[in-house]
A = this chain, B = another copy of it.
Amino acid sequence: MTEKPLILVTNDDGINAPGIRTLISVMNTIGDVVVVAPDSPQSGMGHAITVDATLYVNKVKVDDGPQTEYRCSGTPADCVKLAIRELLNRKPDLCVSGINHGSNSSINVIYSGTMSAAVEAGIEGVPAIGFSLLNYAWDANFEASKSFVENITKEVLKNKLPDGVVLNVNIPNLPLKDIKGIKVCRQAKGNWVEAFDKRQNPSGKDYYWLSGEFINLDSGTDTDEHALENGYISVVPTQFDLTAHKFLKELNTWNLNR
């Protein structure tokens, strides 16, 4: 590629989050960067899109650097749609989302706004990567992530992701010297065991807070959870053809047409 790649950057923690600021700083060393990110945190939004409400977009200057930036009132998936259809002059060469404050490994990929942005780009035929650091804190330290984010991004630009596949990258919350490397993994089977916290509001009406604990139900050593627990960065190729192809044959033997 002789001209610089056009890189779309987004996230779900909002345009001011330290994670996206780190991602922008790395992408500025690789290509021409346009940021289109939510104006407020959107965690847990899954693949939500705004179908029944208006969307606002504002060009902003958040910090120094060559990037162009827009903040958007919508979800991460909205940001990607708006960027590709309205804001960018040409189709981007890459979309990166994150760096998320918190894990998107295992079943978390389903609830993840970070990954929904990457998937949305993938649906539009744009190679895409979601990056997440296993630290939910706003002041998480993203320094150790930088060189890995750079390497993975360059590999995606050099090689080609197949049609219909994006990458889900999770980074353990460790100092650089303790990160053992990168492992290609499958998504671990796991779920959240919710413990709803039931309270009463000042008027005496019951309400709930969702809380819970993630449980890894997968004893495999080829999973993202296993890699992360052992100090590796996990890279899971992630698809949006949700068909359970292996079950098609058996389902065809069912007596669905009576």
Contact = CB atoms under 8 A, between A and B. Distances in A.
Interface residues of A, number: 76
A57 B184 contact: no
Contacts of A57: 206, 208
A123 interface: yes
A78 B243 contact: no
B248 A186 contact: yes
A194 interface: yes
A82 to B, nearest CB: 6
A46 B48 contact: yes
A242 interface: yes
Contacts of A244: 162, 164-165, 237-239
Given A242-B239, A244-B239, A111 B196 contact: no
Contacts of A168: 242
Interface stretch (A14-22, A37-45, A61-69, A170-178): A37-45
Interface string A162-192: 1011001000000000000110101101010
A86 interface: yes
A50 to B, nearest CB: 6
B48 A45 contact: yes
Given A151-B258, A194-B85, A256-B151, A44 B55 contact: no
A155 B81 contact: no
Interface of A: 41, 43-52, 54-57, 77-78, 81-82, 85-86, 107, 109-111, 116, 119, 123-124, 151-152, 155, 159, 162, 164-165, 168, 181-182, 184, 186-187, 189, 191, 194-196, 198, 201, 205-210, 235-245, 247-248, 250-252, 254-258
19 contacts: A43-B51, A44-B50, A46-B77, A47-B47, A55-B208, A56-B205, A81-B194, A86-B198, A86-B208, A110-B242, A151-B258, A159-B254, A184-B252, A189-B241, A236-B242, A237-B251, A238-B243, A239-B247, A242-B242
